[in-house]
Structure 1
Amino acid sequence: MMKIGNHISSSKGYEAMGKQALKLGASTFAFFTRNPRGGSAKAIVPGDVAGFLELWQEKGYGQIVAHAPYTLNACSAKQEVRRFSWETFADDLERMEYTPGNYYNFHPGSHAGQGTEEGIRLIAEMLNAYLKPEQTTTVLLETMAGKGSEMGRSFQELQGILDRVELSDKMGVCLDTCHVWDAGYDIVENLDGVLEEFDRTLGLSRLKAVHLNDSMNPRGSRKDRHARIGEGAIGLEAFKRIINHPALRELPFILETPNDDEGWAREISMLRGYYRE
């Protein structure tokens, strides 16, 4: 079964998110753990979580992919920003254990002129401070487009972080199609080659989820501008290959396209139609 969904608003709670995902035809979904542009987090209601877990188990669906707020920057040059980011990360990991066995995805951050090595050091320091042997959540580093001083623009940068993480079995990677395209990886003409490089550098066992996004810009632009599936520079034919690739087809696919509910339902249905069961 194809595991595909989109970002669902978490404002109404877990059970409502699950029901909304089903309404759109999804079998997984992503959600922000808190205000994506701020720091406030909705209180977790155990009964609401229990309702969601019962619904998801009844459907037999797999992992969901939580997303850290965009304001989390573990390698910021400003100490107060790093403190906020580390505290948010620690709190989010505790909250994730209400829905055990799922994924928590975050943008590695921007080193803001400190240099890549310092960025890697600070991100790994945060991870080593808060990852716990008993946690059931897998933390995912997201591949990034590389605009400005953004970290995670290459598989090598991500591996630089993972090499320094003590509990590396708690870590994985989320591959964003728009981001890797904008970073220069040719997933249109050379998908096999890109995945082979990922395997050599990080190991395909690290790849846990895929953000499915077309791109408004040409390859290597480092812009990070998402487009609807088939309406950008990546194109529909490439997405047909991506969702059916042996290394990717069993992973959760999350749409982050510029859409409304009707548009996401249409994309989910369309991609299911191209998926070879």
Structure 2
Amino acid sequence: MLYIGNHTSSSKGYLAMGKQTLANGGNTFAFFTRNPRGGRAKDINLQDVQEFLQLAQENHFGKIVAHAPYTMNCAGAKENLRDFARETMADDLKRLELTPGNYYNFHPGNHVGQGAETGIARIAEILNEVLTEEQSTTVLLETMSGKGSEIGRNFDELRQIIDRVERKDKMGVCLDTCHVWDGGYDIVNNLDGVFTEFDRLKAIHLNDSMNGLGSHKDRHAKIGEGEIGLGALVRVIRHPATKGIPFILETPNDDEGWTREIALLRKEYEEK
């Protein structure tokens, strides 16, 4: 089965997100745990959660992907920024236990001049403080395009983080097709080779790219309208390494556009 959906607004609650996903033709979705630019998370309506869980079960949803706010920088040089990241992640993971067994995705962070090695150590330190044996949520490190001082520009940096985490069974990777392409991984001509480097693969952000291979720009494009192209992205969803994992569209679209993209990708997937 192909589990596919788009990044949706969490402002109306879980049930509304689930219903909009179904209206778009999807069976999974991603959402921000709070305002992507930071701030306090909204209170959760327990009845809303229960109604969503029933809807998801009845419609055979795949795992959903919660996304941490962009302002959460676990690699930050300033202690107050790391405190915010630590507190935000701990709070998010606690709240996500209301929808158990899903994913929590975050951008590893920016070392802002400290160097990647220091940034990697800081990220792992926070993960070791926050992850618990009891949690059912898997935490995903997202692949990045390598702009500025981003950590996660290649799998080696992600592996270094995971190697330092004590509870490795709680960790995974979310591969963003635009990010890895912009980061220099040729998923058009060497998809098999790329997937041999990305173990612990749990989810994919399926996006085309406005820029060329290795551009380090991170500019998403609609499916089939960028430098990666429809054919290569279809090979991603058909690849054995991605079987059963959620595909999340973060393309520059509205619900009508995502509905078209989901229908197109389902059609291409089923014609293999």
TM-score, structure 2 length as denominator?
0.98
* Partner in structure 2 of residue 208 of structure 1: 202
CA distance in 2, matches of 1:219, 1:176: 14
CA distance in 2, matches of 1:260, 1:182: 24
Kindly report structure 1 stretches of 4+ aligned residues shifted beyond 6 Å. none
CA distance in 2, matches of 1:15, 1:40: 21
Report % sequence identity.
Answer: 69
* Partner in structure 2 of residue 32 of structure 1: 32
Deviation per residue, 1:187-207 (Å, 9 max, x gap):
000101111222xxxx3xx10
* Partner in structure 2 of residue 183 of structure 1: 183
Tell me whether 1:232 sits opposite 2:226 in the alignment. yes
CA distance in 2, matches of 1:250, 1:46: 28
User: Deviation of residue 248 (structure 1)?
Assistant: 1.0
User: Deviation of residue 104 (structure 1)?
Assistant: 0.3
* Partner in structure 1 of residue 137 of structure 2: 137
User: RMSD between aligned alpha carbons?
Assistant: 0.8
User: Which amino acid in structure 1 is aligned with residue 256 of structure 2?
Assistant: E
Tell me whether 1:192 sits opposite 2:186 in the alignment. no
Alignment of 1:1-277 (within 5 A): 1-198=1-198, 203=199, 206-276=200-270
Give structure 1 stretches of 5+ with no counterpart: none
User: Deviation of residue 249 (structure 1)?
Assistant: 3.2
SS at match of 1:275: helix
Contact 1:39–1:88, Cα closer than 8 Å, also in 2 = no
Q: Name whichever of 39-48 and 159-168 sits farther off.
A: 39-48
CA distance in 1, matches of 2:44, 2:50: 11
CA distance in 2, matches of 1:240, 1:266: 15
SS at match of 1:160: helix
Deviation per residue, 1:57-88 (Å, 9 max, x gap):
11122210010000110011111111111110
User: Deviation of residue 125 (structure 1)?
Assistant: 0.4
User: Deviation of residue 251 (structure 1)?
Assistant: 1.2
CA distance in 2, matches of 1:240, 1:98: 34
Contact 2:183–2:216, Cα closer than 8 Å, also in 1 = yes
User: Deviation of residue 54 (structure 1)?
Assistant: 0.7
CA distance in 2, matches of 1:275, 1:251: 14
